[in-house]
Structure 1
């Protein structure tokens, strides 16, 4: 059986420490991405609200045009 020396243990511990440093770095990256997600979600919700607002206005304009051209059966307000 091979003898375990302090140098061998030290080398293994250095490798473990390097791997842990890489893991810490990756965890920090993931945390940063997770922190950014709510901001992205808010931006997307605002964009959807803008789209719905534009569609609502377009729908109202289309109804107005149909009434003016008498293309609808809906009563005129």
Structure 2
């Protein structure tokens, strides 16, 4: 009887061990996927930051153009 109990316990322990191994593999896979997601988010943040810089430069250019037009209008006495 005791041998049957030992065999049963060993069988259960082997099953538990295999499940733990599978869970460890899954966690490793999830870690890799999270790292990829974090890298992708970093790239997206950089793209957004670059877009903000472009917008700021364009706004500065537009402001300069508006100032020049206003100066030209004043010189030509075109202001109303």
The two structures have a TM-score, normalised by structure 2, of 0.72
Runs of 4+ aligned residues of structure 1 deviating over 3 Å after TM superposition are: none
Unaligned runs of 5+ in 1: 71-77
Match of 2:30 among 11, 33, 50: 33
Per-residue deviation, 1:64? 1.2
Unaligned runs of 5+ in 2: 68-80
Matches within 5 A, 1:1-77: 5-70=2-67
The two structures have a TM-score, normalised by structure 1, of 0.74
Cα RMSD (Å): 1.5
d(CA) in 2 for partners of 1:63 and 1:18?
67
Higher helix proportion, which one? 2
